[in-house]
Amino acid sequence: MKPPTVVRAESLLGTEAETWAQVTRRGYSLNEHWTVGFADGTHAFLKVGSIDPSPQWIRDEREVYAAVDGPFMPRFLGFEDGPAPLLLLEDLMPARWPPPWRDGDVQLVVAALAEAAAADVRGPLPALAEAYENDWRTIERDPAPFLSTRLRDEAWLARTLPALIEAADAAPLQGESLCHCDVRSDNLCLKDGRVVLVDWNHARRGNPQFDLAFWAPSLALEHGPPPDEHGVDELAAFVAGFFAARAGLPKPAGAPAVRDFQRVQAQVALDWAERVL
């Protein structure tokens, strides 16, 4: 018997599914994903949003595909809304997904981000400054979650927090470029000598250096260059605050492993911010 998600995809595309397999993404979401081969030769990747907040994220991602297209994005194939929205994209699973990073890969990601930054956005997207805030101010109001990570102690926080707040307040977020806002290795692949970025649900308008800055900690953890080498030091304190403010929070039901990853990113970003300060 065909899984209900595959049947929904057949109805959307108007063609019969011949092969299907449920897949485990390398990312952190526990939502349902499938690869499906159809009778007309289409190979699709199916994303279902069932665990909150993923239903809204699937809708948000569909809106991004309606507003933007380019070789740095998967091909959009279909969408069905409902309690568990369904998004159909081209199947990129056979592509190469780093790590390991090969010579030239980082430059290809930078080139794809530059293409995205120059893309024509045909519809409204929220601005970075509307979606992100200085998270060191959040930590100032309630330092307990951050201190629970033991990444730094109370004395360090008392000594360093004013400078971090000032530096993060000054972070340049403004701009009109398309920003992916979730660049990391499980959200990109290499196909035909190009980089394709996936999971566009957090896309915003703003300073394109934002993507480089937020990618830098995870890239360093995968034996890439240190964050200091990307020329985005003015965003170091802002990035560090983002990860530091989240690493000690309760684990979200839909992505319980994400806090551990945010903690190690916070460690890299805190070291980076200290060097910059």
For 145-171, what is each residue's pLDDT tens digit?
Answer: 999 999 999 999 999 999 999 999 999
3-state secondary structure of 190: strand
Measure the CA–CA gap between 257 and 152, rounded to whole angstroms: 21
Nearest partner of 202 among 183, 175, 217, 176, judged by Cα: 183
- One fold for 4-90 and 105-276: no
Domain 4-90 has CATH 3.40.50.2020: no
Positions of the chain with pLDDT lower than 70, given as ranges: 25-29
The per-residue pLDDT for 27 is 60
Q: Enumerate the domain spans of the chain.
A: 4-90, 105-276
The per-residue pLDDT for 26 is 57
CATH code, residues 105-276: 3.90.1200
Buried (b) or exposed (e) across 181-191, using 16+ Cβ within 10 A?
Answer: bbbbbbbbbbe
The per-residue pLDDT for 249 is 97
CA atoms within 13 A on the CB side of 68: 29
Secondary structure letter of residue 90 according to DSSP: E
The per-residue pLDDT for 256 is 85
Measure the CA–CA gap between 181 and 190, rounded to whole angstroms: 19
Contact 134, 172 (CB under 8 A): no
Helix, strand, coil shares, percent, the chain, to 5: 45, 15, 40
pTM as predicted: 0.93
> Which residue carries 């979401």 as its tokens?
29
The two tokens of residue 108 are 């290809």
